A and B are shown apart, each in its own frame.
Chain A
């Protein structure tokens, strides 16, 4: 049984560009959340998707957007990248209070 899978694992972007990160949840999990983990900090909640709708959003600007597909997979999009967006982006899938994280996507903005 595959766990939460994310792609790409590493990427480098230039300020002002746009990026799309992808996540496939653990089998049987219908809820996907995204977190940002800056270096030396704990993860911060970005938003959560359930039944293809954004169910809750953390304190992140509108530059951060997402989508969930009918197969429960999800994308995180970040527009107009800033240097401060450099971080590890973690996807989590959950089902009935069990929450599992993927290995993350390392984004470096230069």
Chain B
């Protein structure tokens, strides 16, 4: 079985400050990890993925994520937050043999001006 935990329902950060959205996962094999963002009344927008290789993955809009195998974590980060980053963020995982993505419950990010 595979699962994802996003321990924070809500993250608030001031504009210009660094942001982190946390994600931990559980899979039986090698993890394939993803971050998506969802704006109100919209679909999911792909930000980045980790399949293999460097532990630091760079994605769209200045976001990056760090894969930590020992801590089974894949936290999303951005050095300087923008008000327009305010949205709902989902972490997702699958192992190499699974077909489906398993999503976390989402974290609402609010960037305060």
Known interface pairs A42-B90, A58-B100. Does A99 touch B46 (Cβ–Cβ under 8 Å)? yes
Known interface pairs A97-B32, A97-B49, A98-B49. Does A43 touch B103 (Cβ–Cβ under 8 Å)? yes
- Count residues of chain B with CB under 8 A from any CB of chain A: 22
Q: How far is the CA of A44 from the CA of B103 in the complex (A)?
A: 7
For this complex, 7 residue pairs linking A to B, each with C-beta atoms less than 8 Å apart, are: A41-B105, A42-B104, A43-B103, A55-B99, A56-B100, A97-B32, A98-B49
8 Å CB contact of B101 from A4, A88, A99: A99
Please determine whether B51 and A33 come into contact, CB atoms closer than 8 angstroms. Answer: no
A104 at the binding interface (Cβ < 8 Å): yes
A103: chain B residues at CB < 8 Å are: 42-43
Known interface pairs A99-B46, A102-B43. Does A48 touch B99 (Cβ–Cβ under 8 Å)? yes
- Chain A proximity of B44: nearest CB distance (Å): 4
Please determine whether A104 and B51 come into contact, CB atoms closer than 8 angstroms. Answer: no
Residue of A48, A92, A98, A99 with most chain B CB atoms under a 10 A cut-off: A99
- State which size class the interface on A falls in: 20 to 34
A21 at the binding interface (Cβ < 8 Å): no
A81 at the binding interface (Cβ < 8 Å): no
B12 at the binding interface (Cβ < 8 Å): no
8 Å CB contact of B43 from A42, A90, A97: A90
Please determine whether B34 and A42 come into contact, CB atoms closer than 8 angstroms. Answer: no
